[in-house]
């Protein structure tokens, strides 16, 4: 049985929890006196106040040696950004920045677990905050990607001028309202105008925008807009059908509900017979 006692020099999580509670009490006091939005009646606090709570006033909770230890975020981040032996490369700096972000997210997750009545000091849960932080960064990796990088070197001259369809592209995203997954299939069609796009790039565009906090309507539009802007085809059509867990596992709990969205550009929007041909290809 692995030992779950704190290592020498580490602060027990019970002490960290006291600091978390104190920070939350302070934040609630500020919220009580915060100005009220005249439109929707919501209270707002400054970003610095909120970061005090998420960072626990300069602290984060990490899982060193299997236990949660409190350390200062700014000191740790500075240490990571200045590794021994010289200045970090761009890649190394990006990695250390991600590590610091992961630790801050893990600290917030540990606090959430406590609020849910779950004890992060349990041996089988001690790495859960860090695991969830890494997963969340992966789920939202699309924020670090751009259309320029995704489509770089993948546009080719070609005289082909009929419909190109990429079907059944799996998409996984997070609903921005509840941060729970929605998933399904994306179908993309375009009609070239002197240039074509590498086939894998259609899937990569869908992946880039899906790996963000999203609503399905915006995701459909962003994929179409990106292809139209960088390829300049005669027309683009995007069709997505997805299951939303915010409807299936909570709220109304309709497990069989599917959401369908379609966006058309150029000749697809003007020619309904062409649009129907695309829908027939998608649904056959």
Cα 2 from chain centroid (whole Å): 34
Q: Is 226 one of the catalytic residues?
A: no
Q: Is 272 one of the catalytic residues?
A: no
Q: Is 4 one of the catalytic residues?
A: no
Express each pLDDT in 226-255 by its tens digit: 999 999 999 999 999 999 999 999 999 999
Q: Is 175 one of the catalytic residues?
A: yes
Supply the pLDDT for residue 96.
77
Tell me which of 71, 114, 216, 275 is the catalytic residue.
216
Q: Is 42 one of the catalytic residues?
A: no
Tell me which of 78, 149, 158, 176 is the catalytic residue.
176
The DSSP result for 57-126, as a single string, is TTEEEE-GGGS-EEEEHHHHHHHHHS-TTSPPPHHHHHHHHHHHHHHHHHHHHHHHHHHTT--TTSGGGT
Q: Which fold has domain 148-283?
A: GTP Cyclohydrolase I, domain 2 (3.30.1130)
Tell me which of 71, 114, 130, 175 is the catalytic residue.
175
Q: What are phi and psi of 235, to 5 degrees?
A: -170, 155
258 SS3 class: coil
Mean residue pLDDT of the chain comes to: 80
Express each pLDDT in 59-77 by its tens digit: 434 444 333 433 433 444 4
Tell me which of 177, 229, 272, 276 is the catalytic residue.
177
Domain-by-domain residue ranges, the chain? 13-139, 148-283
Supply the pLDDT for residue 182.
97
Tell me which of 10, 222, 244, 275 is the catalytic residue.
244
| Stretches in the chain below the pLDDT threshold 50 | 1-3, 5, 7, 10, 31, 36-86
* CA neighbor of 146 nearest in space, from 60, 66, 211: 211
Supply the pLDDT for residue 51.
42
């Amino acid at each position: 049985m692995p030992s779950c006692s704190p290592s020498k020099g580490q602060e027990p999580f019970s002490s960290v929890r006291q600091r978390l509670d104190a920070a939350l009490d302070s934040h609630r006091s500020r919220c009580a006196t915060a100005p009220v939005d005249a439109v929707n009646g919501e209270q707002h606090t400054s970003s610095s106040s909120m970061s005090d709570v998420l960072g626990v006033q300069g602290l984060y909770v990490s899982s060193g040696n299997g236990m949660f230890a409190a350390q200062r975020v700014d000191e740790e981040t500075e240490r990571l950004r200045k590794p021994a032996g010289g200045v970090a490369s761009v890649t190394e700096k990006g990695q250390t920045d991600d590590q610091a972000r992961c630790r801050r997210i893990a600290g917030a997750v540990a606090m959430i677990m406590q609020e849910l009545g779950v004890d992060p000091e349990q041996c089988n849960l001690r790495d859960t905050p860090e695991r969830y932080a890494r997963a969340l960064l992966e789920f939202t990796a699309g924020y670090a990607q751009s259309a320029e990088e995704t489509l770089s070197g993948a546009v080719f001259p070609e005289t082909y001028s009929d419909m190109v369809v990429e079907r059944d592209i799996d998409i996984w995203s997070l609903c921005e309202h509840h941060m729970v997954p929605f998933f399904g299939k994306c179908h993309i069609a375009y009609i070239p105008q002197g240039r074509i796009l590498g086939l894998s790039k259609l899937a990569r565009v869908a992946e880039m925008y899906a790996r963000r906090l999203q609503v399905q309507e915006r995701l459909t539009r962003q994929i179409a807009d990106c292809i139209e802007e960088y390829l300049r085809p005669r027309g683009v059509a995007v069709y997505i059908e997805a299951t939303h867990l915010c409807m299936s596992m909570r709220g109304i709990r309709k497990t069989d509900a599917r959401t369908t969205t379609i966006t058309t550009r150029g000749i697809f929007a003007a020619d309904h017979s062409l649009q129907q041909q695309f829908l027939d290809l998608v649904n056959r």
